[in-house]
Structure 1
Amino acid sequence: MRRESAVRAVIPPSRRRRPTPREARTSLPGNPQSPAAARRFVRTTLTHWTGPVVLDRLVDDAVLLVSELVTNAVVHAGTDVGLLCRLEDTADDGTALVVEISDHHPARPIRGGLAPVGQETPEFGHGLQLVSGLAAAWGITYRPGTKTVWARLPVDSREQPHPALGGLTADGDHGDVLGPRQDPEDQDWVNRGALTFLAEASDLLAGQLDEEHVAALAGQLLVPRLADWCAVWLTDEADRLGQGGADGFATGSRPARVWHGSENRIEDLRQALENDPPVLPLPASDPERSGPVPVPWPKAAFGDGDPTGAALAFRLAAGGRPLGTLMIGRAGLLRFPDEVTGLVEDFGRRVALAIGAARQYTRQATISRVLQRGLLPSAVAEIPGMRSALVYEPREAGGPGGDFYDVFPAGDGRWCFALGDVQGKGPEAAVVIGLARPWLRLLAREGYQVGEVLDRLNQLLLDDATEAADAAARALAAAGGPSVPPEGPLPRFLSVLYGELVPVDGGVRCTLASAGHPLPLVLGADGVVRAAAKPQVLLGVVEEAAYRTETFDLRSGETLLCVTDGVTERRAGRRQFDDGDGLATALAGCAGLTAPLVAERIRTLVHAFAPEPPEDDLALLVLQTV
């Protein structure tokens, strides 16, 4: 398989092509069945074309490429697409197949949660990774209302069979690839092809963060290149913990993905394999042994007139734990050749590593989500006479981030709010947030004034946060995480904007203080923006610091904007978002907007400030009198 991952073509092939010998197009609706329809369309179209010989390998590559791009457009974005296939002659590549996938609604919001009818797991696309891996040239063309991804697959370069398979012939016979190969030169050629296949498979599997994605990609890589069909089982929680059934057999596996070269056989094959799953003995000496184990041919999935074949199962294990089973089958064989079984065994190890990495990520993400829910309030309290809006986006999706927020009633007609930013991320930051937010609530409800609350929280951080953060870091290091720096525990600093709100006639009285935090801004009813506090030192830095407060009234229609430095220090090259009073200018442009619209406008401007995603957590709180 030819791989040119850095091809940059500016002019799409449709603008410099010679007369087209063959061209076919179709439209696909925005529903989960469209990837399957696209595969059938491409396979049928290429099979019936005459002229240049269209080889099985070219068909397979085209089907895989189109399937992935249509999946991305339809399943992920929910859009309708147009699909065009064309054979053309070019000066560079000779005869080539050009495919174009046009997204007719590229600006439609992405939606999730779609699952194809009749399948437990949705199809997931891998997009331009596969395009760059399969195509000699590719590009993206933008026109009004349309985004088109095109790719050119040369026919001439595919006149030789796929190197991982050996002698696959143009008419579909499997030739001698599935029988013994005696020619040393041929064997050397197969070995080189196997290395290419494994290298590209590793690239595609690397970085997948969902084990279902890994299983789906494994099936698409193996079928039909190395097998007629493939199935991937994943273990349940008992097997993940290294437990097993009686007599040393693995139990509790579920078929995560079943794939067949013929679309209409997938469901029958799935049912047959679910009724009679492979049961592999757990090796006593080497739990990660992944050698092929012959398993019965699933006759129930095929008619009486269909030939039987060979089926093999490979154990998927990593880190001493069973992860699942990979099963392949090829009709018309008594046994798979050694070069194919060896190649699939190596491929299975890569699949197992990818599944293990995905599960580790899932465990960490789950812990982070649970921790995040415990560190942040479940809802923002409603304040009489005010509307509020919050934007909270931790840099790492699911958190925990270093920013926190809170809005809560403090009793006696008082409501309090806080927006903070802890130095650092991860468990150490979580420890500080876990100290700061409950203490803010406790001190406020005990009747302490704004300045007094910050004074006491500052002393608490100086006394306790460093020791607690160090203990968390050491516990993480003991579990295999980053170790504590040799120079000892790092001090933990906290910037916070903390305030108290009391409804009064005609508005709300606000008393607040900023401890090392970006200053809050007030947007007046007249459209004028002013700072609402003065800068003071961070919490956790100076012993016995005395924090001063500012008190003012927010009248009807006035807006208070509080942000973390993820907003003010958002970078585009050397510029920051708040350079030249950029935040105040942005807020002035929000005159007349409600609190939710103010929050969304500021968020949009921050994201649009630079093409790259934000490098820091982002939090902003809008409080508006009514």
Structure 2
Amino acid sequence: MGAIPVQRETITRACDVPAPGNECAQTRTVLPGSPLSPGSARTLVRAALDDWATSGLPGTEHLSERLLDDAVVAVSELVTNAVVHAGTEVELSCRLEEDGALLVEVLDHHPSRAPRDGELEAPYETPEYGRGLRLVSRLAESWGVTYRTGAKTVWARLPAEDPVAPKGDIEAYAEERALERGLRVAEILAPEPQRAERERDWLNRGALSFLAEASDLLAGQLDENLVAALAGQLIVPRLADWCAVWLEDEVAGRWGYARSGDGDSGGGWAVDGIAGTGPRLARVWHGSENLIEELRRALEKEPPLPPDNHRTGPVAYPWPGDALGRRQEHGTALAYRLIAGGHPLGTLVIGRADLLRFPDEVTGLVEDLSRRVALAIGAARQYARQATISRVLQRGLLPGAVAEIPGVASALVYEPCDKGGPSGDFYDLFPARDGRWCFAIGDVQGKGPEAAVVIGIARPWLRLLAREGYRVSDVLDRLNQLLLDDATEAADAAARALVGPAAPGDGPQTRFLSLLYGELTPFEGGIRCTLASAGHPLPLLLGADGEVHTAAQPQTLLGVVEDATYTSETFELRSGDTLLCVTDGVTERRSGTRQFDDGDGLATALAGCTGLNAQLIAERIRRLVHEFGGRPPEDDLALLVLQAE
């Protein structure tokens, strides 16, 4: 049978005084009462056990993969329990005893809330929540709760040997009932001061730090649904029993609600039901998880009606007693408008059972928090708008399809570093007149809207000049002049329209461009290639015999020197010859102080691709670039492979 929770007289037994040269395998850390803490706790435990095993500390000879897995699960469940149901700072301690048993302790500063195991489920029902302490009781040989002034510690002792053995139905049932009795004993043992007194004490001591921590958590979210979820977890259970967040369109007039006095509005809260779709219930949070869905269904039937003014203060909201059961049949609920920059973004509703009126300290604190929630939602929406603009720009900067060239196999790899914004890299492969096909791969200075606008000007001009029959060198001459003339000012103005006004005295900036451009002309027996590189990484030519050499000469960037003239190179691609074109995201991929192309690293990698087709060459170069550094690439990456068939 699993362990029954008990009181423990000492919280953490200090390690016996170690002999000289001996250490005790233990670790301790303090975690914030945030949803990120369980993940941090899991990482800490894994790292600590690995370090102990490497150091050969006493007891580590008993460590096993099973104990590591059990420790991660137990720590995760105990820290999650403390974060969700206590909502305070959490102290985590782990100590390995000489017999290999691991002692885990999680301390929070809310002693009046006993560790919860979810509401007890009806017989024969399969619970969906509240398995945390049941898991711990199965994994631990003993566990329990220790109370001290202003603190509560939940501890578990995980043995070196596996404590989990197959159980019959009767034994499992008896264990469940014993666990429930243990939880009820823990609830009785918990010193429960008056709630109002406890709240006043917390509000006096922790309100400012609570708002500061909430601001930090909310400011890092770029999705309005995550902001709504965080708001619920911040409020429940510290300030209310339940919380709901509605989100709405910022454009006035899309609510579709009856105003006060319009028809039968039921006191100003009823939905018109004819015009508009109304706000969206983004999040519902309750201290008892098994009540969330029923509460959601009740709240969806009665969304809050926005007032005529933009007042953010609390307004009474109907109590959803039918959804909360007999024990919470009566209570008080308040609605706060979420407004940022003068725009209504939604409504935050909080509720508490068995309360006639929220204390003024709580209503004031929630109002302050609601303003921070509104700002975070506004910032998330602004980010979403900019991301949408960026995606639209990105789609317009790249060709819808890559042309198929007779006698040439092509392969492309294109990986923007910033998935949510326009890349500075671009490519093109398109047919021109007189049996010619043209290709280009380039990189604009910087990223984002400024780079996007320059690409949006350069690529269409590139196609136009090529189809008008201009030679490769002439195309570069004219693009260079274009970037130095009015096009740069237009690009700068368009970019600033997206990102905001210019600083005083900040005029148009030159946007330079590195470009590799060429044309292919098939003939009997091969492909004639003419190309030129303007400040771009030089293309590499891989012969069928495995020899690699550069296929162009370095020249000046486009958009830098006004009277620059460009020249081109012409050569033939025979069967099996491969041309590799890349951006600096490949050649300058870093690993510490080294770059991928140091010591002709790219040429060496290409030589190892002898005998492969175009697609396999592209994939192999991409894989080598990714494997070169320990982190994901920090720059846009593009490469084009052209292989004569």
For 1:585, give the aligned amino acid: T
* Distance in 1 separating the partners of 2:81 and 2:194: 14
2:430 is the alignment partner of 1:408: yes
2:575 is the alignment partner of 1:565: no
Match of 2:105 in 1: 96
Match of 2:307 in 1: 281
CA-to-partner distance for each residue in 1:9-57, whole Å, 9 max, x for gaps?
A: 752399789999xxx99999xxxxxxxxx99x998xx8xxxxxxx9985
Displacement of 1:617 in angstroms is: 2.2
Distance 1:446 1:313, change over 3 A: same
2:452 to 430, 443, 450: 430
For 1:433, give the aligned amino acid: I
Which one has a bigger Cα radius of gyration? 2
Displacement of 1:242 in angstroms is: 9.5
Task: Give the gaps of 5 or more residues in structure 1.
Answer: 29-37, 47-53, 66-84, 99-152, 163-168
Displacement of 1:487 in angstroms is: 6.1
2:564 is the alignment partner of 1:574: no
Verify the 8 A CA contact 1:90 1:96 in the aligned structure 2: no
Q: Which moved more, 1:589-598 or 1:498-507?
A: 589-598
* Distance in 2 separating the partners of 1:373 and 1:475: 19
2:231 is the alignment partner of 1:218: yes
Displacement of 1:408 in angstroms is: 0.8
CA-to-partner distance for each residue in 1:455-502, whole Å, 9 max, x for gaps?
A: 2222222223332234335545xxx72525736322222111001112
Match of 1:160 in 2: 150
For 2:214, give the aligned amino acid: A
* Distance in 1 separating the partners of 2:632 and 2:328: 54
Does the residue aligned with 2:485 lie in a helix, a strand or coil?
Answer: helix
Distance 1:42 1:456, change over 3 A: closer
Match of 2:507 in 1: 488
Distance 1:270 1:396, change over 3 A: same
2:483 to 453, 456, 461: 461
Verify the 8 A CA contact 1:55 1:158 in the aligned structure 2: no
Displacement of 1:392 in angstroms is: 2.1
Displacement of 1:600 in angstroms is: 2.6
Distance 1:523 1:282, change over 3 A: farther
The residue correspondences of 1:128-207 to structure 2 (distance < 5 A) are 160=150, 170-171=187-188, 178-179=195-196, 181=197, 187=200, 189-207=202-220
Distance 1:351 1:171, change over 3 A: farther
2:547 is the alignment partner of 1:510: no
For 1:488, give the aligned amino acid: G
* Distance in 1 separating the partners of 2:224 and 2:295: 21
2:275 is the alignment partner of 1:256: no
Displacement of 1:517 in angstroms is: 0.8
For 1:343, give the aligned amino acid: L
Does the residue aligned with 1:238 lie in a helix, a strand or coil?
Answer: coil
The residue correspondences of 1:56-135 to structure 2 (distance < 5 A) are 57=82, 60=85, 96-97=105-106
Match of 1:597 in 2: 616
For 2:294, give the aligned amino acid: D
Distance 1:591 1:58, change over 3 A: same
Distance 1:577 1:484, change over 3 A: farther
Does the residue aligned with 2:319 lie in a helix, a strand or coil?
Answer: coil
Match of 2:295 in 1: 269
* Distance in 1 separating the partners of 2:371 and 2:151: 25
Distance 1:211 1:157, change over 3 A: farther
CA-to-partner distance for each residue in 1:211-264, whole Å, 9 max, x for gaps?
A: 11111222223233332222111112535x998856489982110111223333
Distance 1:227 1:26, change over 3 A: farther
The residue correspondences of 1:536-551 to structure 2 (distance < 5 A) are 536-551=555-570
* Distance in 2 separating the partners of 1:597 and 1:254: 48
Displacement of 1:363 in angstroms is: 0.8
Task: Give the gaps of 5 or more residues in structure 2.
Answer: 1-28, 108-142, 153-185, 261-267, 270-275
* Distance in 1 separating the partners of 2:204 and 2:380: 29
Match of 1:137 in 2: none
* Distance in 2 separating the partners of 1:55 and 1:622: 50
2:411 to 389, 397, 410: 389
2:368 is the alignment partner of 1:346: yes
Match of 1:302 in 2: 324
Does the residue aligned with 1:408 lie in a helix, a strand or coil?
Answer: strand
Verify the 8 A CA contact 2:332 2:356 in the aligned structure 1: yes
Displacement of 1:369 in angstroms is: 0.9
* Distance in 1 separating the partners of 2:80 and 2:536: 65
Distance 1:584 1:96, change over 3 A: same
Verify the 8 A CA contact 1:95 1:156 in the aligned structure 2: no
Match of 2:637 in 1: 618
* Distance in 2 separating the partners of 1:154 and 1:353: 42
Distance 1:206 1:611, change over 3 A: farther
Verify the 8 A CA contact 1:96 1:154 in the aligned structure 2: no
1:525 to 544, 554, 559: 544
Verify the 8 A CA contact 1:88 1:97 in the aligned structure 2: no
* Distance in 2 separating the partners of 1:323 and 1:42: 35
For 1:219, give the aligned amino acid: G
For 2:237, give the aligned amino acid: P
Displacement of 1:88 in angstroms is: 7.7
* Distance in 2 separating the partners of 1:428 and 1:415: 29
For 1:272, give the aligned amino acid: A
- Equivalent pairs, count: 512
Does the residue aligned with 2:522 lie in a helix, a strand or coil?
Answer: strand
Distance 1:594 1:157, change over 3 A: farther
Match of 1:361 in 2: 383
Does the residue aligned with 2:395 lie in a helix, a strand or coil?
Answer: helix
Does the residue aligned with 2:638 lie in a helix, a strand or coil?
Answer: strand
CA-to-partner distance for each residue in 1:538-560, whole Å, 9 max, x for gaps?
A: 22233343322112222223221
Match of 1:324 in 2: 346
Q: Which moved more, 1:218-227 or 1:481-490?
A: 481-490
Question: For the aligned residues, what is the CA RMSD?
Answer: 4.2
2:293 is the alignment partner of 1:293: no
Verify the 8 A CA contact 1:55 1:159 in the aligned structure 2: no
For 2:238, give the aligned amino acid: R
For 1:332, give the aligned amino acid: D
Does the residue aligned with 1:12 lie in a helix, a strand or coil?
Answer: helix
Distance 1:323 1:26, change over 3 A: farther
Verify the 8 A CA contact 1:474 1:484 in the aligned structure 2: no
Displacement of 1:170 in angstroms is: 4.8
* Distance in 2 separating the partners of 1:529 and 1:545: 30
2:48 is the alignment partner of 1:11: yes
Verify the 8 A CA contact 1:234 1:255 in the aligned structure 2: yes
Verify the 8 A CA contact 2:250 2:344 in the aligned structure 1: no
Verify the 8 A CA contact 1:516 1:538 in the aligned structure 2: yes
* Distance in 2 separating the partners of 1:455 and 1:506: 32
* Distance in 1 separating the partners of 2:608 and 2:146: 59
Does the residue aligned with 2:370 lie in a helix, a strand or coil?
Answer: helix
Displacement of 1:523 in angstroms is: 1.8
Displacement of 1:570 in angstroms is: 2.3
* Distance in 2 separating the partners of 1:89 and 1:573: 37
Verify the 8 A CA contact 1:372 1:398 in the aligned structure 2: no
CA-to-partner distance for each residue in 1:148-207, whole Å, 9 max, x for gaps?
A: xxxxx9966886269xxxxxx95499955543x4x9xx8455322222322222222222
Match of 2:336 in 1: 314
Distance 1:233 1:59, change over 3 A: closer
Does the residue aligned with 2:553 lie in a helix, a strand or coil?
Answer: coil
Match of 2:131 in 1: none
Provide the identity percentage: 66
Displacement of 1:355 in angstroms is: 0.9
* Distance in 1 separating the partners of 2:463 and 2:449: 22
Match of 1:104 in 2: none
